[in-house]
């Protein structure tokens, strides 16, 4: 009887050890099979896509196992607001987005992009971003997202079918507008402009059919998407910078190994730095390439430039508290004032 009891006890112990081993192996397999599905509206094979792929390869090597990294380009997963939604429900684990999509997660980020003619150069953009970055990243984390790196894509210029030099020249035209920015559309309408809410994938066909005839875009995007072939006039003013970031959900982050997290953060920082440097360099290169193919660059004279500056200054009180949270709006102006004072400007 004692022997029988010992045998039963040993059998149970073996079963318990087998179960624990099975659970450990299952957990290990799950950890190794981490998958990151990253969405973006950037063109396939663009410098942004290439940097994402390099980041993914660095992470996949560090994560090991069956880790997978997939990038969806060209808005195949929807516009930027849709990318934010897909991350929240787990269909995507990350995204490279501009402020248009990032503000769906954390509205204060709009301060870096939605203030027209505020920043005079990239040094000012970099200074303000870095000053605001720590607190901004904490806000994203509080909403369940980890920021891996910050990038930008050049200055917004206005590409139109007809030549235009001053604000009034655009009032009879139809503007592309992000469908997820109703506040901007309301402001434009109140000033006598006609916004047409669309997604990025609809820009070129809408230009070709006449649904819109003005597209605010960076030169790089205009070249890559070929919109300059239809909208062959470019207004030569730096309306606003396109600022973006690479983010992943905290849920996906928590499934990674410590070495995977470390590699992804380092690779994300590197990718953001590369995107900023290359995108800025390629602005002038893109304009030169389009000019060879028929683009006309329209440069405002001093009087016309003052009209644009006056328009921007009239917009700021309307943007504060609507498109940009009031506290963040004020913070940007304080940082910019301090930066310019330190340089005697």
Paired tokens of 25: 């192996």
Sign of the CA dihedral with 226 first, then 227, 230, and 234 last: negative
Q: What is the pTM of this model?
A: 0.85
83 vs 15: CA distance, rounded Å: 46
CA–CA–CA angle 35, 41, 43 (5° rounding): 100
**Domains parsed from the chain with CATH numbers:** 33-342 (3.40.190.170)
- Specify the DSSP class assigned to residue 43: P
pLDDT tens sequence for the chain (345 residues): 444 444 544 445 554 544 444 444 444 444 447 899 999 999 899 999 999 999 999 999 999 989 999 999 999 999 999 999 999 999 999 999 999 999 999 999 999 999 999 999 999 999 999 999 999 999 999 999 999 999 999 999 999 999 999 999 999 999 999 876 788 899 999 999 999 998 888 888 999 999 999 999 999 889 988 999 999 999 999 999 999 999 999 999 999 999 999 999 999 999 999 999 988 888 889 999 999 999 999 999 999 999 999 999 999 999 999 999 999 999 999 999 999 999 987
């Amino acid at each position: 009887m004692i022997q029988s009891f010992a045998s039963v006890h040993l059998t149970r112990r073996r079963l318990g050890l087998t179960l624990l081993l099975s659970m450990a192996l299952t957990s290990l397999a799950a950890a190794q099979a981490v998958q990151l599905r990253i969405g973006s509206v950037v063109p396939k094979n663009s410098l942004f896509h290439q940097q994402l792929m390099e980041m993914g390869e660095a992470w996949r090597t560090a994560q090991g196992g069956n880790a997978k990294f997939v990038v969806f380009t060209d808005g195949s997963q929807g516009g930027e607001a849709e990318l934010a939604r897909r991350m929240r429900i787990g269909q995507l684990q990350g995204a490279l987005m501009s402020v248009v999509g990032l503000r769906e997660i954390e509205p204060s980020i709009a301060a870096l992009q939605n203030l027209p003619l505020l920043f005079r150069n990239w040094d000012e953009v970099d200074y303000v971003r870095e000053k605001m970055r720590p607190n901004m990243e904490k806000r994203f984390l509080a909403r369940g997202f980890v920021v891996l790196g910050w990038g930008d894509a050049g200055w917004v210029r206005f590409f139109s079918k007809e030549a235009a030099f001053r604000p009034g020249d655009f009032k009879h035209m139809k503007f592309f507008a992000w469908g997820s920015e109703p506040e901007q559309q309301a402001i434009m309408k109140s000033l006598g402009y006609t916004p047409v809410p669309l997604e990025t994938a609809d820009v070129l066909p809408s230009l070709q059919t006449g649904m819109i005839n003005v597209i605010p875009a960076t030169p790089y995007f205009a070249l890559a998407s070929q919109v300059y072939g239809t909208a062959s006039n470019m207004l030569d003013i730096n309306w606003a910078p396109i600022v973006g970031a690479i983010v992943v959900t905290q849920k996906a982050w928590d499934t990674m190994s410590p070495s995977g997290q470390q590699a992804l953060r380092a690779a994300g920082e590197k990718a953001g730095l590369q995107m900023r440097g290359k995108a800025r360099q390629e602005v002038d290169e893109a304009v030169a390439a389009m000019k060879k193919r028929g683009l006309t660059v329209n440069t405002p004279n001093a009087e016309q430039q003052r009209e644009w500056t006056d328009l921007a200054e009239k917009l700021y009180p309307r943007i504060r508290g609507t498109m940009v949270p009031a506290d963040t709006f004020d913070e940007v102006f304080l940082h910019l004032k301090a930066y310019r004072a330190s340089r005697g400007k």
